[in-house]
Chains A and B, each alone.
Chain A
Amino acid sequence: MTSIAHPELEGLGTYEYGWADSDEAGATARRGLNEEVVRDISDKKDEPEWMTKLRLKSLRLFDKKPMPTWGADLSNIDFDNIKYFVRSTEEQATSWEDLPEDIKNTYDKLGIPEAEKQRLVAGVAAQYESEVVYHQIREDLEEQGVLFLDTDTALKEHPEIFEEYFGSVIPPGDNKFSALNTAVWSGGSFIYVPKNVHVEIPLQAYFRINTENMGQFERTLIIVDEGAYVHYVEGCTAPIYKSDSLHSAVVEIIVKKNARCRYTTIQNWSNNVFNLVTKRAVAEEGATMEWIDGNIGSQVTMKYPAVYLMGEHAKGETLSIAFASEGQHQDTGSKMVHCAPNTSSKVVSKSVARGGGRSSYRGLIQVQEGAHLAKSSVECDALLIDTVSRSDTYPYNDMREDDTELAHEATVSKVSEDQLFYLMSRGMEEEEAMGMIVRGFVEPIARELPMEYALELNRLIELQMEGAVG
C-alpha cells in the first residue's frame, strides 16, 4: 500500500489531498504581520530573549527588503491577509491516538500512521499548521544519541547547539523570505547525528497546511557530526482553496568532516500555495551533501538548494525534478559555492512542462579565489509535452580560478512524434506511451529516490499524463 504511505506524491490532475478539516484554531487566527504578532509567537513559545530579539531584527529586515523581481511572479502575495501562526493543539503527541480527532483524521487519510507501522521510516515528524503535532523516533537511534525533534522543542532542550548554529548557514538578512521565516518561524525538524553514527533508514517529516491563507514557516536545522550519515525525507500537502497560502521554510544543514547528508523533498502542495524556500548546507572537509528535490505541486515555487563547499574534497550534489502543469511556475535550480581546493559539485535538473505550465532552471556555480582544481558539472534537461508550455534556463557561472573544470549541458526537447509512434506501434495507448517517455526522462533522478517514492513517482507521472494527450 505504498500509494497510501506517500500522500505527497499523489495526483496532480486530480489532487487527492485537497480536502480541508474544520479547524477553529485556523478560522480564528489573526491576519497580518507586525511587531506584536512576532512578540506574541515568541511569548507563546516561551523563548529565550536572544531569539525574541533575533525575530524582531528579522522582521525589520523583512520590511526593508524589496520583493525579489528576478524570478517568478510574486505580486499576488498579500502579506496582510496571511495568518502567521496557528496553534491547533496544545500538546505534542507521541501516539497517533493522542492527537485531536480532526488532526488524527487528516493523517489517517494521508496514510502516515500506516507508513510508520510498516517501518519504512526510522523516525516520523508531522507538522500541522505552525507546529509539530506528532513525533516519534526509533529507540535504538535515540540510544545512539541521535536527536530528532521539532525545532521548538530542540530550542528549549538544546539551547547551546542552537546559539551556535541557528542562522549560521542562512543569516536572517540573506533574502526577504529568510528574514520573514526568521521573524515568524515555527516548527520544523531538528536533527543531530553524533560522530560516526549511520542512520540507515530515512527520518521522515510530513508538512500539512490546513487553514486558508495560512503561512507555514518551518525551520529545519540538521547537524551531521564527523563521519556520520543521515537521510531526511520530507513531504508536503495542503487543501485547495480559492485564495493563496504561503510556505516559506528555511533549512540549514551542517555536514561535518567526512560526514554525509542526503535531504529528499517531495513537495506536492496544492496549486494555491506559494512555495518560497531557502535551503542551504555547508560541507566541511571530505563531507558530502546531496539534495534530492522533487517539485510537483504549488502555484509558484522558488527554491535553489545550495551547498557551500568549505573544506577540501567536499562534495555537493543536487538532483531535481520539477513538473509544471497548468497555472504552475516551478522556478528551481541549485547553487554550488566552491570555497576550498579540490571540491566538486554536480547538478542534474530535469523538468517537465505541460498544459501551459512553466519550468525554469536557475543555477549558480561559483568558484572562489583559492578554490583550486574545483570540478563542477551541470546538466539541465527540459521536456515539453505540448506547444503551450514553457521552459527557460538561467545558468550563472562565476569562476575566480582558472584551473576549474566546468561542464555544462542543457537541453530542451519535445516529446517526439517518432517516439510516441514507436511505442504506440507496439500496442501501447497514447497515454501509456507518453507516460513511459516521461518516466524514462526522469529516470536518472527517480532511481535515486527511496524505492517506495520511486514507485509512487511513476504512478504520479501516469496521473499527470492523464488528459495530457489528445
Chain B
Amino acid sequence: MTKFEIRGLRADVLIGEDERQEILKGVDLTVNSGETHAIMGPNGSGKSTLAYAIAGHPRYEITEGEVLIDGENVLDMEVDERARAGVFLAMQYPVEVPGVSMSNFLRSSVTAVRGEAPKLRQFSKELQGAMKNLSIDSGFAARGVNEGFSGGEKKRHEILQLELLKPKVAILDETDSGLDVDALKIVSEGINRSKETHQMGTMLITHYTRILNHVKPDFVHVFAGGRIAESGGPDLADTLESEGYERFVKAGA
C-alpha cells in the first residue's frame, strides 16, 4: 500500500537567467495505491508543470511544499532517485536519444530501477511480451530511442516503459493526445494492466474525457490557475464535458 502525497506545492518555471514565473500555487493531492485521479484543466493551467516538477525537471524550481512517497520526501531526491523510489512520468513529448537502441535503453532503465540486471534471455522474453501487448513491432527494439517515431509510437513506448518499470505512482502527461481511436484503446489497456497487476496509483493528466471511457478514474480534479480548483467523482468529468472549464478559469483568475 503506497501513499503518494502532494502538499502545498508551489513551483516556478525558470525562463531566463533572472526570470521566473510562478506556475504552481499550492497543490494538494493524495494518491493511494490502485487509485486513478484524472487531472483535467485548460491549456496553460499548470498541469504539465505539476508533472515535471514532481519528476524533478531542472527547468522548474519548487518554492514551497512537499511531495511524499510513503512518507519520504521525493523533493530531496535526484531525478533518478525519484524514479527508483517508484515515481514514473510518461511524457507528452519524449525526447530522441540518437544512436541509443530502445532495447539498450530499456534494459538499462529496468536494471537501474530494479537494482539488478535482469537475465538477458528472461528480459528479452519479457520485452517481447510487453511489446506485443502494445502492438509494437519487434523491429522497434533495435531503433534509436524515440528516433523518428510518430507521436503515437512515442506514446506507446512511454507505456511500454511504464509496464516494464512497474512504478508505484505514474503521472501520465496527456498520454491520450494525438492518438487515434485504436491507439487510445491499446494505450489505455496498458495503463489498466499496470493498475491491476501491481496496484499502481495513477495521475492521469488530460484535456479530454475520451480516455476516461477506457481508464476509469476514481476521482476527477479540475486544475486551474496553478491549483486544484475542484474535486469530485467520475461525474465531474461529465459536467466538464458539457460545461467546459470557463467557470474555473474565472474563479482561479
Q: Decide if A419 touches B58 in the complex (CB within 8 Å).
A: no
A423–B100 Cα distance when bound, in Å, is 11
Determine the chain B residues whose CB is within 8 A of the CB of A439 once the complex forms: 99-100
Q: Which of A136-144, A214-222, A256-264, A426-434 contacts B (4 or more CB under 8 A)?
A: A426-434
- Name 7 A/B residue pairs within 8 A (Cβ), A-sorted: A417-B59, A422-B94, A423-B97, A425-B79, A429-B80, A439-B100, A440-B145
Stretch at the interface among A162-170, A318-326, A441-449: A441-449
The answer, yes or no, to whether A94 is at the interface (CB within 8 Å) is no
Give 14 new A-B contacts, CB below 8 A, not counting A417-B59, A441-B99. A421-B55, A422-B95, A424-B83, A425-B79, A425-B82, A425-B83, A425-B88, A427-B84, A429-B112, A436-B105, A437-B100, A439-B99, A439-B100, A440-B98
Distance A433 CA – B58 CA, assembled complex (angstroms): 15
- In this assembly, does A101 line the interface, its C-beta being within 8 Å of a C-beta of chain B? no
Which A residues fall within an 8 A CB radius of B? 416-419, 421-430, 432-433, 436-437, 439-444
Q: Are A427 and B109 touching (Cβ within 8 A)?
A: yes
A440 CB contacts on chain B under 8 angstroms = 97-100, 144-145
Q: Which of B95-138 contact A (CB under 8 A)?
A: 95, 97-100, 104-105, 108-109, 112-113
Q: What residues on B are CB-neighbors of A444 within 8 Å?
A: 99
CB-based closest 7 A-B pairs:
A440-B99, A427-B112, A443-B99, A440-B100, A426-B109, A424-B79, A427-B83
Smallest Cβ distance from B61 to chain A, in angstroms?
Answer: 14
With A423-B105, A436-B100, A440-B100 in contact, is A428–B80 under 8 Å at CB?
Answer: yes
The CA of A442 and the CA of B113, in the complex, are separated in Å by: 26
Query: Whose C-beta in chain A lies nearest to the C-beta of B167?
Result: A427
Return A392 CB to nearest CB of chain B, in Å. 22
A430-B82 Cα distance, complex, nearest whole Å = 13
Q: Is B91 an interface residue (CB 8 A)?
A: yes
Residues of the A chain whose Cβ atoms lie less than 8 Å from the Cβ of B144: 440
Interface hits, B47-61 → A, CB 8 Å:
55-59
Contacts A421-B58, A432-B112; is A426 near B97 (CB within 8 Å)?
Answer: no
Please determine whether B57 and A441 come into contact, CB atoms closer than 8 angstroms: no
Q: In angstroms, how far is the closest chain B Cβ from the Cβ of A352?
A: 12
Q: Tell me whether A427 and B100 are in contact in the complex, defined as CB-CB below 8 angstroms, given that A418-B95, A421-B57, A421-B58 are known contacts.
A: no
Q: Which residues of B contact A422 (CB under 8 A)?
A: 91, 94-95, 97
User: In the bound complex, how far is the Cα of B84 from the Cα of A429, in angstroms?
Assistant: 10
A443 cross-chain contacts in B, Cβ below 8 A: 98-100
Set of chain B residues within 8 Å of A427, measured between Cβ atoms:
80, 83-84, 109, 112-113, 165
Report the Cα distance A40→B82, complex, angstroms.
68
Tell me, in angstroms, the Cα distance from A419 to B105 when the chains sit together: 12
Q: Considering the chains assembled together, what is the distance between the CA atoms of A422 and B92 in angstroms?
A: 12
Q: Distance in Å from the Cβ of B39 to the closest Cβ of chain A?
A: 19
**Shortest Cβ gap from B183 to chain A (Å):** 21
Q: A430-B78, A436-B105, A440-B144 are in contact. Are A425 and B99 (CB under 8 A)?
A: no
Chain B: minimal CB distance from A409 (Å): 14
- Cβ of B31 < 8 Å from any Cβ of A? no
Known: A417-B58, A422-B91. A428 touches B109 (CB 8 A): yes
